[in-house]
Structure 1
């Protein structure tokens, strides 16, 4: 005999989530069919009578999501609805930040019956969609196409010097950024009325109370049962004599710059630095990289060595084991003093890492432990040293990837609701574009 079970699936944020849950259900012995529906948030599973409901829900939980049995019927047509508790009785979760980790947690929390207050001091959506993954990959792709016009490998196709209209490229890039911010964050927020958004700067008044200060100086207090810190990070600027008195770029400014500099010096040699260095070179700039050690020094040495060869072929100068002694800006030119010479450039890009946005939260008064850089220490369950305060994303000691933040936010939500979900980072995929 067969039966059809309907499950309410908790925590899905996109169609890929639905495919992941669907595969997990289909892998269960005794399941004939499984269809998962996003954004409706449920699954219909045709399964043998002897398969227990708990086996299905366990498979969903193992895949990183939550599940509740909604209905069992031989001929299922209508979804059952869950009666929510009155708002005053619901667990109240405060989420600081609005990036991927924050949204993943907020959605999972309201799916689990909690109410959420999200606090964001800047632009909704966090680093990835606004100033990270999305704009950088669009720029890198455009630069690759420009490079192929000069240097594609096909006989019988001519080569040419591309015409680069940087203003038009930036406009198209930022239009896509706006579209994805609306699709993935603004519209998702609008479809979850249980999530209240407060715009302003947050700080802890005590372990359960957040004070939110708006731009006009007004303040309000919000008290929560659980708190998630997912405030992200900002570019780290090294202490170099004179640097803070110059109009240098970080990746944020570089991605929306409407002019290609004649000569760009890039300070740094990790992923962001090398990606943008090659993109600007392919768009027409002369580029010099100053690497404190070697290219991609935290990765397999063979990767950095191979990249060094590619950069030489493309005309990018790389100075390894080099840290500037001083930086000055005069008459529209940067002057960068290094051991062997004084470099002159139209623009300087500082891409030397990122620092957590935890400085002004008041964590030190609560006993929330951070490392020397301000990154929050969490356990495998995303819990900080204060039991009801959790953290996820770039403000923690975890690798700064959008999928790590989202995974951490999801697991934090499960645990804030009383569950037991751990984040296993023993295998970590990453890509350099």
Structure 2
């Protein structure tokens, strides 16, 4: 731990990465100047994880009131959606968390000074901050941390920029539920919002440039597409828009699948790092498409300047951002921490959920590993059977000779709740045989991991419910 009470660290941003860096560095004795040009809290609490998961949860409740596996014995009724009241509830929780987890902590911290303004590097040890009140301030520092996040990208589709299309940010605060919605994009964010709007009452069409979730095992995308089609969501694969127009409150898209029309258009095709105003080129900092390149210690190519989160080349998950910010703070104050991303779980909060960790079968093969894999349909998982919801699967990838677990992909209800168990098994170097011998609580979805592991040596169809 650093004992230098005079160490001054400038932190640019106030989201997950920046807050983690500021708090950890202050804990280790540094003095912090935190600079934020917009709303305190960054993407996750304001326009990302928190509001999106609230909206998704509300949409799930609406869906279950209209349709569930128990409709034969439980009466159903199409719910009335009051979007304005849902939005009010959503934003109230956002404001509450922003204050308690971000603004309030900064207000009360004696080692952190907050400047409201836009920062720009003038040299490797100085920032010029254009303050929100019109003034300017120069900030000299010993170390700096960049945690400026990212914003929704705008794909180069002719005509798009001249239309009032929605991004993942503006869609979350849309005041009404559109009758017809087109979603351009087939990744986590696009699909979460597509299903949420469909369950709130929109007629949704998803345009996928190739297929759904093209970076995942193909079985994952196929399972999600099947679930979407069951709910009436139209999925157009291998489809791109060549032009977008907007006339008489209607979006008109020219695509290779024909002309499509909608009341709202949501574009969720990726994010762009918020690094343009920082003057990184003149500073000589290495970037790739605007993303800051960092080493295993989170240091940029400019000594003494560190970065983490969505403004870097690291995976765009808030828990990766926070972990990176915390480790960068340790390193800025004399430590040598490394951000180990060898075991990194990911979750998509659709229904069914998608949860993954480690290598897919194709990735393992590309790395030259001799693999064995097994896929367990949820019809063999007791929890799914008693839920009367057996759509989905759990897939395990293992090293053929040793049985060492390499990766898990799951499409299931509450898949996000089981994936951390798989992550811990990966971290511990467990084999599928180790997992199959563990005790798992009966009638939990995570028991599916044990059952899937057993399929490497047994026919689970011939096991009793609690068979070990």
Tell me which residue corresponds to 1:414. Answer: 330
Match of 1:149 in 2: 65
Q: Are 2:188 and 2:213, in contact at CA under 8 Å, matched by a contact in 1?
A: yes
TM-score normalised by the chain length of structure 2: 0.73
Equivalent of residue 314 in structure 2, options 376, 392, 398: 398
Equivalent-residue separation in structure 2 for 1:320 and 1:237 (angstroms): 20
Match of 1:3?
none
The equivalent residue for 2:21 is 105
Distance, in Å, in 2 between the alignment partners of 1:421 and 1:156 is 56
Question: How many angstroms does 1:215 deviate by?
Answer: 3.3
CA-CA distance at 1:216 after TM superposition: 4.0
Q: 2:104 aligns with which of 155, 172, 187?
A: 187
TM-score (norm 1): 0.79
How do residues 233-252 of structure 1 correspond to structure 2 at under 5 angstroms?
A: 233-252=150-169
Shift of 1:98: 0.2
- Structure 1 residues 142-170: Cα deviation after superposition (integer angstroms, max 9, x where no partner): 00011001111113211111110000000
Distance across 2 between alignment mates of 1:345 and 1:108:
47
State the secondary structure of the residue aligned to 1:266. Answer: strand
Which residue number in structure 1 is paired with residue 254 of structure 2?
337
Does residue 289 (structure 1) correspond to residue 289 (structure 2)? The answer is no
The one of 81, 99, 109 aligned to 1:164: 81
Q: What CA distance in whole angstroms lies between the structure 1 residues aligned with 2:251 and 2:332? A: 50
Asked if 1:131 corresponds to 2:29, the answer is no
Q: Displacement of 1:295 after TM fit?
A: 0.5
Separation of aligned partners in 2, 1:203 and 1:299: 38
Output one character per residue of 1:378-417: Cα deviation in whole Å (capped at 9) or x when no partner.
0110001111000010001111111101100011000000
Q: Deviations along 1:4-29, whole A, 9 cap, x unmatched?
A: xxxxxxxxxxxxxxxxxxxxxxxxxx
| Structure 1 partner of 2:301 | 385
- Displacement after TM superposition at 1:209 (Å): 0.7
In the TM superposition, what is the alpha-carbon distance from 1:190 to its structure 2 partner? 2.2
Deviation string, structure 1 residues 260-299 (Cα, Å, up to 9, x no partner): 0010000000000000000000000000001111101111
- Residue 245 of structure 2 corresponds to 328
Deviations 1:306-351 (A, max 9, x none): 0110111000011111110000000000000002311110000000
Query: Once the 2 structures are TM-superposed, how far is the Cα of residue 218 of structure 1 from its aligned partner?
Result: 1.6
Deviation at 1:259, TM superposition (A): 0.4
Structure 1 residues not aligned, in runs of 5+? 1-65, 69-83
- Say whether residues 1:353 and 2:353 are aligned partners: no
2-side partners of 1:123 and 1:298: how far apart?
A: 32
Structure 1 SS opposite 2:210: coil
CA drift at 1:110: 1.1
- Give 4+ residue runs of structure 1 displaced > 4 Å after superposition: none
Aligned partner of 1:61 in structure 2 is none
Q: In the aligned structure 1, how far is the partner of 2:258 from the partner of 2:133? A: 49
Cα pair 2:185 2:267 within 8 Å, conserved:
yes
Instruction: Flag structure 2 segments of 5+ consecutive residues without an equivalent.
Output: 350-468
| Contact persistence 2:239–2:257 (CA under 8 A) | no
Aligned residues: CA RMSD: 1.2
User: How many residues end up aligned between the 2 structures?
Assistant: 348
1:408 is paired with a residue whose SS is helix
Identify which of 125, 145, 163 aligns with 1:208.
Answer: 125
User: Does residue 370 in structure 1 map to residue 284 in structure 2?
Assistant: no
Measure, in 1, the Cα distance between the counterparts of 2:132 and 2:25.
28
Question: Hey, what does 2:116 align to over in structure 1?
Answer: 199
Partners of 2:238 and 2:181 in 1: CA distance: 19
User: Given the alignment of the two structures, is residue 96 of structure 1 paired with residue 12 of structure 2, yes or no?
Assistant: yes
Report what 1:63 is aligned to: none
Q: Which residue of 2 aligns with 1:117?
A: 33
